[in-house]
Structure 1
Amino acid sequence: MKTILIVEDEEILREIIKDYFLNEGYNVLEASDGKAAHSSFDEHQVDLIVLDIMLPELDGWSVCRRIRKQSDVPIIMLTARVDEDDTLLGFELGADDYVTKPYSPPVLLARAKRLLDSRSRIGKTVQLEDAITMNGIRAHLPSRSVTMDGAPVNLTHTEFEILTYLMQNQGIVITREQLITKIWGFEYVGDDRTINTHIRNLRTKLGDKAAMIVTVVRTGYKFEAHP
């Protein structure tokens, strides 16, 4: 049974979200402020976090930043703000998806299922090879772990999805729209600049191997494994 941590200071909204996840068979943990959220995460095995931004004690951005230092657990951020820069900040901090209030709980549930299913599918699908290795970068699909010249690289859920998708299609140009559909599905509504943010974060973590992710102007990206 997957465990969802819901971090929302509005009790009524939190109860509504909780009921939707409980009805789908998920185990649910609750937190009404940022400090309680971080404590709950430290004390329990959590598979996905639904995280409001405007929280007492510690805001959602700070919670996201702290959790990303220790885990790649999928994070969906909730916000009443509509500023695109706020959305990009969330992605820069490592959020995997972003839902703007007011929203439909079934849509939030669908987004959560997609993140959880994509993680489970990679672990359960029989692969001809369970790892992809190119120029010192090794992505192990069942464990969703990445090493670079043998050293571990801590990627978020979304960064791992982007990297493995590009590596599996080595040399092929992948459009931003293809990446968005692969990661968030056809129902995604938002600015494709979010992909740019994730790519920038990914390149930073890849260091001197970042050049293998090539930008194709006005189109998208491709992975080029140089000999």
Structure 2
Amino acid sequence: MNGASARILVVEDEPKMASLIGDYLRAEGHEPQWIADGREVLPAMEAQPADLVLLDIMLPGMDGLAVCRALRERSDVPIVMLTARVEEADRLLGLDLGADDYICKTPFSPREIMARVRAILRRARRGLPPTPSPLQIDEAGWRASWRGVPLELTPVEFRLLKALAATPGRVFSRDSLLDRLHDDGRAVTDRAVDSHIKNLRRKLEAAAPGQDPIRSIYGVGYKLEL
């Protein structure tokens, strides 16, 4: 890896999604290479190794789980699984096979993918092994877990956590978070955000004592650090 630029292999059989991911990667200065067939991944890596692999599970030729297993037998390249599967068993299987992170594509969030890519590349440049995100959010199932522990969240708390997690490290003002609290247009004050943040922190602390990923930025708002 030279500087901030990285060569990233995008293994995805949906052309529109692959193109969109490629556009985001190029915008951040990276060099994406697109492959649509799982059987082509190992030859591509042997010809020109990548710094990171974004790997879909549902692929023609050779599925993503088999590709992940084969890659891990040959390389320690960081692997981020991309999949529409939301079941915990599927996620854990990918991680057990050697994936470094796992992102659900339903709904699809290029910003979340870029945030995970940045975090993994930072660790790789420091010589640290990539680690899966401690926060897992299943938007389709309205479930979240922190450090592997399920979080019992209210709908408002779930929306708030999802908003913060969409762009880790970004500072969100109270007003911007306020817009995400309710979907029925009710009038609430910005202090409602503080109250829900307090409840979120309490539940995160209960799941992993001594760890609080939510940072208060005085006079501005909040950010999530993963």
**TM-score of the two chains, using structure 2 as the length reference:** 0.57
User: What's the counterpart of residue 122 of structure 2?
Assistant: 117
Distance in 2 separating the partners of 1:3 and 1:21:
10
Over residues 47-95 of structure 1, what are the superposed CA-to-partner deviations in whole Å (9 max), with x where a residue is unaligned? Answer: 0000000000000000000000011111110111111100000000000
The answer to whether the 8 Å contact 2:13/2:59 transfers is yes
Q: CA deviation at 1:192?
A: 5.2
Amino acid across the alignment from 1:118: R
Mark the CA change 1:75 to 1:112 in structure 2 (over 3 Å): closer, same or farther: same
Any stretches of 5+ residues in structure 1 without a counterpart?
A: 124-143, 145-156, 162-182, 196-217, 221-227
Mark the CA change 1:65 to 1:73 in structure 2 (over 3 Å): closer, same or farther: same
**TM-score of the two chains, using structure 1 as the length reference:** 0.57
Over residues 185-215 of structure 1, what are the superposed CA-to-partner deviations in whole Å (9 max), with x where a residue is unaligned? Answer: 6x653545759xxxxxxxxxxxxxxxxxxxx
Structure 1 or 2, whichever has the larger Rg, is: 2
The alignment status of 1:78 with 2:82, answered yes or no, reads yes
Distance in 1 separating the partners of 2:89 and 2:136:
18
Distance in 2 separating the partners of 1:83 and 1:188:
12
Any stretches of 5+ residues in structure 2 without a counterpart?
A: 138-143, 150-206, 210-226
Q: Aligned ranges for residues 44-193 of structure 1 at < 5 Å?
A: 44-101=48-105, 102-120=107-125, 122-123=126-127, 157-158=129-130, 184=133, 188-189=136-137, 190-191=144-145
CA RMSD after TM alignment? 2.3
Q: Aligned ranges for residues 17-28 of structure 1 at < 5 Å?
A: 17-28=21-32
Over residues 108-149 of structure 1, what are the superposed CA-to-partner deviations in whole Å (9 max), with x where a residue is unaligned? Answer: 0110110001121x24xxxxxxxxxxxxxxxxxxxx6xxxxx
The answer to whether the 8 Å contact 1:53/1:78 transfers is yes
The answer to whether the 8 Å contact 2:136/2:146 transfers is no
Over residues 153-195 of structure 1, what are the superposed CA-to-partner deviations in whole Å (9 max), with x where a residue is unaligned? Answer: xxxx34xx6xxxxxxxxxxxxxxxxxxxxx636x653545759
The answer to whether the 8 Å contact 1:91/1:194 transfers is no
How many pairs were matched up?
A: 141
Partner of 1:50: helix, strand, or coil? strand
Distance in 1 separating the partners of 2:33 and 2:64:
16
Amino acid across the alignment from 1:82: V
Partner of 2:74: helix, strand, or coil? coil
